[in-house]
């Protein structure tokens, strides 16, 4: 390891946590204003009805649903990376796991409400619990996402406990008294005794082991919102794994972007090193290929033997007057450009990888839009309507406002959370060099009588 854990100390991070600068306050102020504007848009929608959105009787789900799928997908990669590195005791990921976990929680908090913005009757939201029917994919989502959210917040908190204890014990920490109090409270009396260490470690392991299947299930169920409907482009058996892969792909790409921002802003080159970008871009290119494979499989079967409605859908996707440009954008930036830039050594630099990652994130949002909208514009009985807004969906200011305020809230959560605790998990990185071996989940009995080789496998 280039950054052996020994050199890291909370001292290097405390100055970032103390007295925020004016610039920080300005940033938080601007983000809050954007978020509040989104709330204003939501209030208008609530008062006036969804007539002020771009949604109409054919396209009844617009970018709210696309955003929902997109943000939930971003959350997925973070959960997976931090859980797997916890369980398998991977050392190099330690400095970036907190970013990954924050990404998970913030996108979950922002993503989940987007499906609620689709509701025509927000005042009846409690009916989901009062009259919930287990046959409905929406009920599956409600259960899965709320479970996922609780687990991910718990995991994020567990990984913070030791750092909170460190901050509590830091002499002369220049922060307000209520924050000191909060640190003391949140550290749960952690003193670093052998027993406490053991239990906390076990808690991490258990949470990590639970989060992996929970996240996979949550995201698979998300895809069922679409694939359970009798619609061309949706009614597909590979939708669940396709969604999971797309989610991981977008999440890893955004993680690279956030790593780059923190490294630049907080001067963290010693912790977030070239090595991280190297490994993460390797993960990214692998995901590009898997994603490309799924996309290819999906469209090939639709295209090769096309029924009438599938044909209409594919035609819409290729037609330059309809969704052609968006499809091209998605194809180029989610597939072609990553392969050229990351797959070949000529352009592969940290900045280039980051730019490509950002483009991938945008392209995958476009992909979600291309999943939701064109299919809804292609019902079995062709639309015969005189009203143009009923034939083609267009995004209204309300929907833009809410989407942008969603991004603002994610940035806001990052800004505030990284003021509260070091963005690099200090205690975990410090411990990285003396990590235990991963625990074997089960043992395999040796059938032969020779016993000497038993434990070498690890």
Partner 1 sequence: MKKKGNANRRKFLKNTIAFGAAALTAGSASTLAHKTEAGSKGTTKKVKVLTTEGKVIEVEKTVSDCKIDPCTPPLGREARQGIPGRSFVMVVDLARCKNARKCIEGCQRGHNLAPDQEWLKVYLMRDHPEGEPYWFPRQCFHCDDPPCVKVCPVGATFKRQDNIVLVDDNRCIGCKFCIVACPYSVRIFNWKKPPESKVPIEEYSPEVSQPAQIGTVSKCDFCPDRSRVGKLPYCVSSCPMGALFFGDKNEDAVSNGTETIRFSELIKERVGYRYREELGTEPNVYYLPPVERMFDYKRGLESLPEEKQKVYDDIIYNRNSKKNL
Q: Is 443 in the site for partner 1 (CB under 8 A)?
A: no
Q: Within a 13 Å sphere around the CA of 3, how many CA atoms are in the beta-carbon half? A: 25
Q: What is the dihedral of CA 86, 90, 93, 95, to 10 degrees?
A: 80
Crossing angle of helices 397-420 and 22-48, rounded to 10°: 140
Q: At its nearest, how many Å lie between partner 1 and the CB of residue 43?
A: 14
Would you call 137 helix, strand, or coil by DSSP? helix
Residue 407 CA, chain-centre distance (Å), reads 12
Q: Is 383 in the site for partner 1 (CB under 8 A)?
A: yes
Exactly one of 8, 35, 42, 55 binds partner 1 (CB under 8 A); which one? 55
Would you call 143 helix, strand, or coil by DSSP? helix
Q: Which stretch binds partner 1 (CB under 8 A): 73-81, 94-102, 123-131, 414-422?
A: 123-131
Exactly one of 28, 128, 328, 435 binds partner 1 (CB under 8 A); which one? 128
Q: Name residues contacting partner 1, limited to 159-218 (CB under 8 A).
A: none
How far apart, in whole angstroms, are the C-alpha atoms of residue 198 and residue 432? 15
Q: How many CB atoms lie under 10 A from the CB of residue 121? A: 8
Structure tokens at 215: 């996240």
Exactly one of 85, 273, 281, 312 binds partner 1 (CB under 8 A); which one? 312
If binding means CB under 8 A, how many residues of this protein chain bind partner 1? 47
Instruction: Choose between 324 and 379: whose C-beta lies nearer to partner 1.
Output: 379
Exactly one of 19, 22, 23, 121 binds partner 1 (CB under 8 A); which one? 121
Q: At its nearest, how many Å lie between partner 1 and the CB of residue 308?
A: 7
How far apart, in whole angstroms, are the C-alpha atoms of residue 402 and residue 41? 7
Helix ranges (DSSP H) in 335-381: 337-343, 350-376
Q: At its nearest, how many Å lie between partner 1 and the CB of residue 374?
A: 14
Q: Which stretch binds partner 1 (CB under 8 A): 44-52, 66-74, 163-171, 173-181?
A: 44-52
Exactly one of 156, 337, 376, 401 binds partner 1 (CB under 8 A); which one? 376
Q: At its nearest, how many Å lie between partner 1 and the CB of residue 128?
A: 6
Q: Is 61 in the site for partner 1 (CB under 8 A)?
A: yes
The answer for residues whose C-beta is within 8 angstroms of residue 92's C-beta and 6 or more apart is 1, 275, 276, 279
Exactly one of 142, 328, 352, 416 binds partner 1 (CB under 8 A); which one? 142
The answer for residues whose C-beta is within 8 angstroms of residue 157's C-beta and 6 or more apart is 186
How far apart, in whole angstroms, are the C-alpha atoms of residue 392 and residue 52? 15
Exactly one of 7, 229, 265, 351 binds partner 1 (CB under 8 A); which one? 229
Q: At its nearest, how many Å lie between partner 1 and the CB of residue 51?
A: 4
Q: List residues near partner 1 by CB under 8 A.
A: 48-51, 55-58, 60-61, 118-121, 124-125, 127-128, 130-133, 135-139, 142, 225, 228-231, 308, 311-312, 315, 376, 379-387
């Amino acid at each position: 390891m280039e950054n052996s854990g020994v050199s890291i100390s909370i001292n290097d991070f405390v100055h970032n946590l103390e007295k925020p600068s004016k610039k920080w306050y300005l940033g938080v102020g601007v983000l809050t204003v954007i978020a509040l504007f989104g709330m204003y848009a939501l209030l208008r929608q609530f008062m006036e009805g969804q007539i002020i959105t771009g949604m109409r009787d054919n396209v009844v789900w617009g970018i709210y649903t696309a955003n929902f799928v997109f943000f939930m997908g971003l959350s997925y990669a973070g959960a997976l990376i931090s859980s797997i590195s916890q369980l398998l005791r991977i050392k190099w990921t330690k400095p970036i796991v907190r970013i990954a976990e924050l990404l998970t929680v913030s996108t979950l908090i922002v993503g989940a409400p987007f499906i609620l913005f689709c509701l025509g009757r927000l005042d009846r939201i409690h009916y989901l619990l009062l009259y919930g029917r287990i046959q409905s994919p929406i009920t599956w989502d409600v259960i899965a996402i709320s479970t996922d959210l609780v687990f991910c917040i718990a995991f994020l908190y567990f990984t913070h406990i030791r750092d909170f204890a460190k901050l509590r014990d830091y002499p002369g920490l220049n922060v307000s008294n209520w924050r000191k109090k909060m640190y003391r409270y949140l550290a749960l009396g952690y003193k670093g005794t052998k027993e406490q260490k053991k239990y906390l470690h076990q808690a991490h392991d258990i949470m990590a082991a639970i989060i992996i299947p929970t996240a996979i299930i949550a995201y698979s169920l998300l895809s069922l919102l679409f694939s359970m409907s009798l619609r061309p482009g949706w009614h597909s058996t590979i939708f669940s794994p396709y969604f999971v892969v797309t989610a991981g792909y977008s999440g890893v790409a955004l993680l690279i972007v956030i790593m780059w921002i923190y490294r630049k802003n907080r001067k963290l080159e010693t912790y977030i090193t070239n090595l991280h970008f190297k490994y993460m871009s390797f993960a990214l290119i692998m995901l590009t290929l898997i994603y490309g494979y799924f996309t290819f499989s999906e469209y090939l079967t639709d295209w090769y033997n096309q029924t009438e409605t599938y044909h209409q859908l594919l035609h819409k996707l290729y037609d330059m007057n309809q969704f052609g440009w968006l499809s091209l954008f998605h194809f180029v930036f989610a597939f072609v450009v990553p392969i050229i830039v990351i797959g070949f050594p000529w352009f592969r630099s940290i900045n280039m990888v980051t730019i490509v990652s950002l483009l991938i994130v945008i392209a995958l949002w476009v992909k979600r839009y291309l999943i939701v909208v064109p299919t809804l514009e292609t019902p079995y009985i062709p639309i015969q309507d005189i009203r143009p807004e009923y034939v083609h969906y267009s995004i209204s200011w309300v929907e833009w406002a809410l989407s942008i305020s969603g991004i603002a809230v994610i940035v806001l959560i990052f800004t505030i959370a990284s003021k509260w605790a070091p963005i690099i998990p200090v205690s975990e990185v410090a411990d990285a060099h003396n990590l235990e071996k991963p625990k074997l989940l089960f043992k395999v009995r040796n059938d032969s009588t020779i016993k000497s080789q038993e434990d070498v496998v690890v």
